[in-house]
């Protein structure tokens, strides 16, 4: 008589699941810890370089006749708000770029696909060229840029005509239409302006910079960036479904058209807030999601926060290079990100083509 010993149940999928989620979780943890550390380092970068210890010491002092009081003033009034704004803008560009690539199902989509950046440039150009910006200061250009971005978003929504008929191709066409029109009007404003200083200011703003960052901008940008990244991450499963196609999304109960409209509007408002402060900074929202996919895969619950952390880190590092490489002159941040992002994108596309061929 043979006695069969019942073997305990072994879940053979559990180790694979742990391996599958282990690396992305580790990468996300490293980014969550490393981004604040990088921010502290970047605060110390400038014409007068300070080490991490000096930065922390200066940040803990608010004044007084101490050797570090001058450094504390520079850090608190100039560098710290600039780095915080850079973190928020980079995080918004990375997260929204990732989400927009999902809803249009195109890895070459970027946050400026919706025409919001061109609308912001037009609003800022009108304020600066008419001389209104000189009367009210930096807030005038920022307000004009935000209003221009919101008007561009409203035009895109009108062209879309509602969520039921919203497809990825219609979203792209509407955004490109508004973007090209706003860019044409902006160029016309620049050409017709007789004020050379205003033209120079418009061009520098259009090329992107964090040089006008201030503490007044920080509360709004921090709130917007945290909310946008959190909401898009919560919509991660729906973005995964839409990325597989509208039919697949419909089969599991996801309304692809409605989600596409919500993501587009939310992303556009966040981009409007970011662009109104920093100007147009290209390639961050395009390249960063590719880097994030290489690190954590295509699951948007992890991909969105990963893209936000990478975008924030890349932007503050690029800004530090922009303000020190040719000091005392400052390289426009959009120019620098394009110079760095173009060869990186070419490498990623080449690597992807090789992997697909095998």
Q: For 138-189, how does the pLDDT look when each residue is reduced to its tens digit (9 = 90+)? A: 567 788 888 998 999 889 888 887 656 567 788 888 889 999 999 999 989 8
User: Residue 67 pLDDT > 50, yes or no?
Assistant: no
Cα distance between residue 122 and residue 145, in whole Å: 7
C-alpha 123, offset from chain centre: 20
- Interhelix angle 168-192/116-129, rounded to 10 degrees, is 20
Q: What kind of architecture, by CATH, is found in domain 81-352?
A: Orthogonal Bundle (1.10)
- Going by C-alpha positions, the residue among 148, 156, 106 that lies closest to residue 264 is 156
| Cβ contacts of 302 within 8 Å, gap of 6 or more | 24, 25, 28, 236, 296
Tokens at 244, concatenated: 């597989």
User: Residue 255 pLDDT > 90, yes or no?
Assistant: no
Cα distance between residue 39 and residue 45, in whole Å: 10
Q: What are the structural domain ranges in the chain? A: 81-352
- Going by C-alpha positions, the residue among 346, 174, 170 that lies closest to residue 256 is 170
Cα distance between residue 39 and residue 80, in whole Å: 9
For the segment 291-307, the average pLDDT, to the nearest whole number, is 92
Burial (Cβ within 10 Å: 0-12, 13-18, ≥19) of residue 171: buried
Cα distance between residue 237 and residue 95, in whole Å: 15
User: Residue 89 pLDDT > 80, yes or no?
Assistant: yes
193 backbone φψ class: left, alpha, beta (φ>0; ψ -120 to 50): beta
C-beta pairs of 240-245 under 8 Å, 24+ apart in sequence: 240/102, 240/298, 240/299, 240/300, 242/102, 242/103, 242/105, 243/102, 243/105, 243/298, 243/300, 245/105
User: Residue 66 pLDDT > 70, yes or no?
Assistant: no
CA atoms within 13 A on the CB side of 48: 11
Q: What confidence score (pLDDT) does residue 64 get?
A: 41
Question: If pLDDT is split at 50, 70 and 90, which confidence band does 14 have?
Answer: very low
Q: How far is CA 26 from CA 18, 29, 293, in A?
A: 11, 5, 14
Q: pTM for the whole thing?
A: 0.86
Q: What confidence score (pLDDT) does residue 56 get?
A: 76
Question: If pLDDT is split at 50, 70 and 90, which confidence band does 301 have?
Answer: very high
Cα distance between residue 83 and residue 75, in whole Å: 10
User: Residue 87 pLDDT > 90, yes or no?
Assistant: yes
For the segment 124-132, the average pLDDT, to the nearest whole number, is 81
Cα distance between residue 122 and residue 128, in whole Å: 10
Mean pLDDT (the chain, rounded): 83
User: Residue 194 pLDDT > 50, yes or no?
Assistant: yes
CB atoms within 10 A of CB 265: 15
User: Residue 322 pLDDT > 60, yes or no?
Assistant: yes
61 backbone φψ class: left, alpha, beta (φ>0; ψ -120 to 50): beta
Could you tell me where the DSSP H helices lie in the chain? 13-43, 52-59, 69-74, 80-104, 116-129, 132-136, 138-160, 168-192, 196-207, 218-234, 236-243, 246-251, 256-278, 284-296, 300-324, 333-357
Q: What confidence score (pLDDT) does residue 310 get?
A: 96
Cα distance between residue 100 and residue 258, in whole Å: 14
């Amino acid at each position: 008589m043979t006695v069969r010993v019942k073997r305990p149940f072994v879940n053979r999928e559990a180790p694979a699941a742990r391996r599958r989620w282990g690396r992305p979780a580790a990468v996300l943890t490293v980014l969550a810890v490393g981004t604040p550390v990088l921010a502290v380092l970047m605060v110390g970068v400038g014409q007068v370089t300070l080490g991490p210890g000096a930065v922390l010491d200066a940040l803990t002092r608010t004044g007084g006749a101490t050797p570090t009081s001058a450094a504390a003033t520079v850090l608190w009034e100039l560098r710290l708000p600039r780095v915080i704004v850079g973190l928020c803008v980079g995080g918004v560009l990375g997260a929204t770029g990732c989400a927009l690539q999902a809803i249009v199902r195109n890895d070459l989509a970027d946050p400026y696909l919706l025409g919001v950046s061109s609308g912001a440039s037009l609003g800022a150009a009108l304020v600066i060229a008419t001389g209104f910006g000189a009367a009210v200061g930096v807030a005038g250009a920022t307000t004009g840029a935000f209003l221009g971005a919101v008007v561009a978003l409203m035009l895109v929504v009108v062209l879309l005509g509602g969520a039921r008929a919203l497809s990825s191709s219609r979203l792209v066409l509407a955004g490109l239409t508004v973007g090209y029109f706003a860019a044409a009007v902006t160029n016309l404003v620049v050409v017709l302006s007789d004020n050379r200083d205003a033209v120079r200011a418009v061009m520098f703003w259009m090329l992107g910079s964090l040089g006008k960052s201030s503490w007044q901008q920080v509360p709004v940008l921090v709130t917007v960036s945290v909310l946008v990244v959190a909401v898009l991450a919560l919509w991660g499963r729906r973005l995964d479904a839409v990325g597989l196609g509208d039919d697949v999304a419909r089969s599991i109960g996801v309304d692809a058209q409605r989600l596409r409209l919500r993501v587009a509007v939310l992303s556009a408002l966040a981009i409007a807030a970011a662009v109104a402060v920093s100007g147009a900074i290209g390639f961050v929202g395009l390249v960063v999601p590719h880097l994030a996919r290489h690190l954590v895969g295509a699951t948007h619950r992890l991909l969105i926060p990963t893209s936000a952390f990478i975008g924030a880190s890349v932007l503050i590092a690029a800004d530090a290079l922009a303000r020190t490489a040719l000091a005392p002159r400052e390289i426009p941040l959009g120019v620098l990100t394009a110079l760095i992002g173009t060869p990186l994108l070419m490498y990623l596309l080449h690597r992807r083509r090789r992997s697909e061929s095998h």
